[in-house]
Structure 1
Amino acid sequence: MNQSSPSAAGTDPSTQAGTARRTGPSYVMLSCAHGAEGLVKSTIADEGWRLSFSRPGFVTAKHDQAHSPPSGIFIRTASQSLGSGKSGDADELIDRLLEATDSLELPVDHLHVWPRDRAPIGRFDFEPGPDEVSLAVADRIHARLGPERLRCATPNEIAQPSQRVLDVVLVDPSQWFFGIHTATTLPSRWPGGVQPVSPAYEPISRAYFKAAESIAWSGFDLRPDDLAVEVGSAPGGACGRLLEMGLHVIGVDPADMDPRIADHPRFIHYAARAGDLPRRVFRGAKWLLVDSTVKPDATLSTVRNLIDSRDTSFRGCLITMKLGDYERAEQIPRWQREVQRWRPKKLEVRHLARNRCEVCFAVTL
């Protein structure tokens, strides 16, 4: 199944490369969620990429022609490969990295260092992104490469558009892969494609991070005092993010909300299912977030009924579509066709770094 269209993934593959246009074979390294590598492999094989080394959450490939790194719904990061190193001695691996950077136009703007996902997201409380080992490695690399090779004051800073980023992926603590990419989309600016976010308070649930990432990635212009609706709101993780941003929030869920959310002056809870509520409840709401434990077709039916009402005027929807297992990803094109029948201004689909086995539909109305 080909899921690599730029419109679906929200990326521009023609600008992903971090160096000048190549005239020979292309080599890439790609990061994804642990368990999603099969989808990544099938996507890039359809585009003529020949698979090479891979591990859960990490894929490398070669193209016989000059080619920009591929993009796709399940590709979290994409870089031109500069090689790899394997050693129990970190300094030997940094020596190998130094050799690899000799082929680049120096200095590079940023250094991003992160480990591949060691487990499926959420299992054993695993969350993607830099960990203690990779942070220590990043500091050591930054010190060794110095200002002659790196412009950044510290590693793992958020890159700005068009800046070049040197990528180091710790496939294992003793096996590193090196790459280069140019920051374009917002996820390509984040270290390892994972949004750095610092909650003001301890989040009620990991839904806080999913909401933060989906809002940032979508580009939706949520502003203080806007009214947002979340369907499937309990216990309140995503609502916490919206309230933190200064919005007024309506939560719709038969289950109880955490008291910290339920008692908030800008929050209203309807202990019901969205389809059972009169549509006038949602008057004035600009934004709709849906993350409920129902089948995707039922989710789309609920959203369609909400946005078709004369009482509602949503500007954007962030819809979490539960897959259950990655084989169900073959249904995504059908779901996209269904959403296109709503005549949205824009539709983007991405497997967010914080998503488990699910994808996010960002629908601009």
Structure 2
Amino acid sequence: MIRIKARAPTRRLLSPGLPTAWGSVAITYKLACPLAQQNGLGARIVTSAVFFAVGTGLIVHVRRTLLRELRQMRKVAGAAQSVLLRPLPPRLDGLGVAAAQLSADRGAAIGGDLYEAIATEHGVRVVMGDVRGHGLAALGTVAAVLGSFREAAHDEPELAGVLRRLERALARHLRERARAEHPSSCRDPDNPVAEEFVTVLLLEIGRDGQVSALNCGHPWPYRLGGHGVEPLAHTEPLPPLGPFPLPADLTAAPRGELRPGESLVLYTDGAEDARDARGRFFSLPEVLAEAARAPAISPQTILRKVFAALLHHTRGTPADDVAVLILRNERQRAKCSEPSRGAGLCRYAAPPRGRDQPPQPAADDASLAAPP
């Protein structure tokens, strides 16, 4: 630590010292060297060579400085991404997981899309969202929503409670941002901060495979299974968070069962709104249908196919942020409960618990049974 601190002032002194030295060489040569005062061809060639060397040295120095700053910025961006959008584990409570994001801002690693998946005592809870706008300007809102979800997912017994916590966190963030950017914006309804909104999709996948969802203005995910590719639901979602309050009667709606071998593909609208040079939209269902034809395809493989097709469609320049999250039920069906008990629910065998999974409650007909 002492050695690093001692070198820092030296590096700062040497940084402007090198261009000054090159400039001194050029001026000294021009004023003091007799050859520089001559007009012959040989003298002109030597003078040109001296100034060419000086210019080349300055360009090399500037290039090295910019590359050093770029490497430092990439380290900072990588650290910010690892905190804001933490890498998801490949397996989460018996579900295979794969996720990635593509920012519309060139050189940015993160943007206005958000996602997270957490194993809780209530099941695996997932959030997928899209902040109004894109790129680096939306990072504050992304941080506020994700921070609230990571706490509420464990604390709230109902999915509706999680959504209300996200709404309060977003409102608090926008008020603080308005006071910081525009002190008078709290009394100005036309201020741009008042128009901010976030589309949010909340999912809860129980240990029996049952899926519950709350959707605020977000595209419904696709289900990949024996019936091909189909949306998880066809109902109209609630309005996005921000402009309108949530309804008083808010209950997560059941959306069927995610059976073993089936996958859910969550995405932001940047995927389906992406256009090619002719203005044609990207067909996400067609890409998913082609990927689903392969037997026992992994979430990572589906993710690679989607992003490869998307980048090919947009020629590597998407106009909006794109995030994709894939969940695959990799549990194995064991047996169903007896008809006399009236539930008809099935047990599933999950893989051994890893570090990313919470302690499992006692198994019953609606929960996971540990594998032998």
TM range (shorter): under 0.3
- TM-score, structure 1 length as denominator? 0.26
- TM-score, structure 2 length as denominator? 0.26
Larger radius of gyration: 2
- The structure that is helix-richer by fraction is 2
